Amino acid sequence: FIERNAMFVRHMCLIYSAYIRLDCFSCETELKEYTPAAIVNDKVSTTIANMLKPYSFSYYDILICQRMWSDFLQVTDKNVRMPEIWAAGIIRNFIELNGVYNYDLPKISEMCRNVPTSAISRTSNEVLSTLGLEPGDPRYINEEGLLLLLLS
């Protein structure tokens, strides 16, 4: 992010250091070491991209979701029969982790080809517990989520 948005980061550091108390950042992570899995090019990854593109999510957002899926596969051996359900679960976790989108569960269902909300909840909870996701998880946060986290 810093490499791709150097001027933005420089400007935000200037504003942050001049106008915002620096002793109140309250976010911590339990994550100490992380090596991302190689992006898996399977039906779920393709479905994630196909579901997010019509809603103007960035390439980087799609990549983060695909990385979350690849990390999940690295620690589990799921036999995926319905890629839409797993893609919807990943997308829900991404949206909730970043906290910058106004999508509730029914809207996520709609954007994910009307996958039942119960199935989305089940798969997103499984991914959440398997990967140990936490609010503002540094592995899967995008630029907007990072900015929101810094300014909260």
Q: Are 97 and 61 in contact (CB under 8 A)?
A: no
Cα–Cα dist 64/95, whole Å: 11
Amino acid 26: pLDDT:
60
Q: Are 60 and 138 in contact (CB under 8 A)?
A: no
Predicted confidence (pLDDT) per residue in 8-67, tens digit: 888 877 776 666 655 555 667 777 788 999 999 999 999 999 999 999 999 999 999 999
Token readout for 89 is 């679960």
Residue 108 phi, psi dihedral angles, 5° rounding: -65, -40
Going by the DSSP 8-state scheme, the letter that residue 42 receives in this structure is S
Please tell me whether residue 134 adopts helix, strand or coil conformation: coil
Residue 146: pLDDT band with limits 50, 70, 90: confident
Output the furthest CA–CA distance in the chain (Å, rounded). 53
Residue 6: pLDDT band with limits 50, 70, 90: confident
Residue 151: pLDDT band with limits 50, 70, 90: confident
Going by the DSSP 8-state scheme, the letter that residue 55 receives in this structure is G
Q: Which residue has the tokens 């630029």?
A: 143
Predicted confidence (pLDDT) per residue in 119-139, tens digit: 999 999 999 999 999 988 889
Closest CA to 126 of 90, 95, 98, 91: 90
User: From residue 80, how far is each of 73, 92, 107, 141, 148 by CA, in Å?
Assistant: 10, 18, 24, 25, 34
Spell out where 61-131 has E strands.
none
Predicted confidence (pLDDT) per residue in 68-112, tens digit: 999 999 999 888 999 999 999 999 999 999 988 889 999 999 999
Amino acid 22: pLDDT:
55
